[in-house]
Amino acid sequence: MDRWEKFLIDVSNKVVEGEKLSREEALKILRTPDEYIALLVYCAQKVKSKFHEANKIELCSIINAKSGACSEDCSFCAQSKFYKTPINVYPLVPEEEIVEGAYRAVEFGANRYCVVLSGKSATQEEVERIKQSVERIKQVEKLPINVCVSAGTLDEESLKKLKEAGVKRVNHNLEASKSFFPKIVSTHSWEERYETIKRIKALGLSTCCGGIFGMGESDEDRVDLALTYQELEVDSIPLNFLMPIEGTPLEKAPGVSPLEALRIIAMFRLTNPKAELRLCGGREQTLRDFYGMAVLMANAMMVGGYLTRAGRDIKKDYQLLKDLKLEKLQVVFE
């Protein structure tokens, strides 16, 4: 056994036994030579099997319930008012449309449906309308799906309202490490988002917090984000790979290669073994023919499209699950 084989097997065994990896070990995972990628995926899959149902994959779906005209200047985002991008701009959609989106998610076989709003923070009126929509989905239509919300920096009162309506999980992404964040956003701080996640947790809500990779961040930045989520003990981590959008400051960003993406996914699996890893935006374009290997390390994938981009044909996802002998996770209410 050579040194790389020994390292990868040792770190995966360490995680399986309940120990945490050091920052140096996490960084080394991101520098795994190409010829050891298959072993790295195997080791990450072994860790997944220890802490999760190995043969199950969860599907989740979102609705872009309010699009564009955002006051924030996130360099990766097509919805910022600062950039001229080819997207539709509209206010919060009617309740009927949010409910219809939940029905589509159920048809896809999704276990989760997330209502997503553009903007720094939802207004009290918007929170009230989301609350009414969630109550209808849960109490009137009685749809077999978990409803999540992503509505920016929410205060305690707003979070309590959503929780009362039946929301169990709130999405709030840090997107990048504390040190890299100021290079992509100037209109709000990383600390503000970090404190929001702590507020979500304090109220007993489940947390879904992810990142975007390929924006020019370093390996150190990627590890620091993973270790922050380890510290926060977040429940779910959506992994997004930048899809450069014309008109944004990152339209010519480097992105990541398929093998680099596999290293990132494996590192997040090994540093956050109990968290659900979700393959989300950019998974198709970035991973390409390596997508099946990524799924072996993950718990979930987003289907039915993203905020401003179409997603992969769901029939292809169904076929992939069949080929990998993975079953769709049946709806489990939180």
Measured between alpha carbons, how far is residue 122 from residues 76, 130, 131, 132, 247 in Å?
20, 10, 12, 14, 25
| Segment 79-99, tens digit of pLDDT | 888 888 877 889 999 999 999
pTM metric for this prediction: 0.95
Question: According to the model, what pLDDT value does residue 308 have?
Answer: 45
- Contact between 99 and 65 under an 8 Å Cβ cutoff? The reply is no
pLDDT surpasses 50 at 306: no
pLDDT surpasses 70 at 332: no
HSE, CB side, 13 Å, CA atoms: give it for residue 236.
23
Question: According to the model, what pLDDT value does residue 88 have?
Answer: 82
| Residues in Cβ contact with 163 at an 8 Å cutoff, skipping those fewer than 6 apart | 203, 204, 205
Q: What is the dihedral of CA 161, 104, 58, 139, to 10 degrees?
A: 40
Phi, psi angle pair for 208, to nearest 5°:
-125, 110
| Residues of the chain above pLDDT 90, percent | 82
SS3 of residue 236 by DSSP: strand
pLDDT surpasses 80 at 239: yes
Report d(CA 224, CA 204) in Å as an integer: 25
Mean residue pLDDT across the chain? 93
Residue 63 corresponds to which tokens in the numbers above? Answer: 């609705």
Which residues lie across from 213 on neighbouring strands? 241
- In this structure, is the dihedral angle defined by the CA atoms of residues 323, 324, 330 and 334, taken in order, positive or negative? negative
| Bigger pLDDT: 213 vs 328 | 213
| Segment 143-189, tens digit of pLDDT | 999 999 999 999 999 999 999 999 999 999 999 999 999 999 999 99
- The alpha-helical segments, DSSP class H, found in the chain are 3-16, 23-29, 37-51, 95-108, 124-135, 156-165, 190-202, 219-232, 258-271, 283-287, 291-297, 314-323
Q: How many CB atoms lie within 10 A of CB 147?
A: 24
| Segment 214-236, tens digit of pLDDT | 999 999 999 999 999 999 999 99
Question: According to the model, what pLDDT value does residue 85 have?
Answer: 82
Question: According to the model, what pLDDT value does residue 89 have?
Answer: 86
| Segment 176-203, tens digit of pLDDT | 999 999 999 999 999 999 999 999 999 9
- Contact between 180 and 75 under an 8 Å Cβ cutoff? The reply is no
> For the chain, which domains are there?
3-328 (3.20.20.70)
| Segment 26-58, tens digit of pLDDT | 999 999 999 999 999 999 999 999 999 989 999
Considering all CA atoms of the chain, what is the largest pairwise distance in Å, rounded to the nearest integer? Answer: 62
Report d(CA 306, CA 287) in Å as an integer: 16
Instruction: For residue 60, give the H/E element and its range.
Output: strand 56-66
Report d(CA 175, CA 281) in Å as an integer: 12
pLDDT surpasses 70 at 307: no
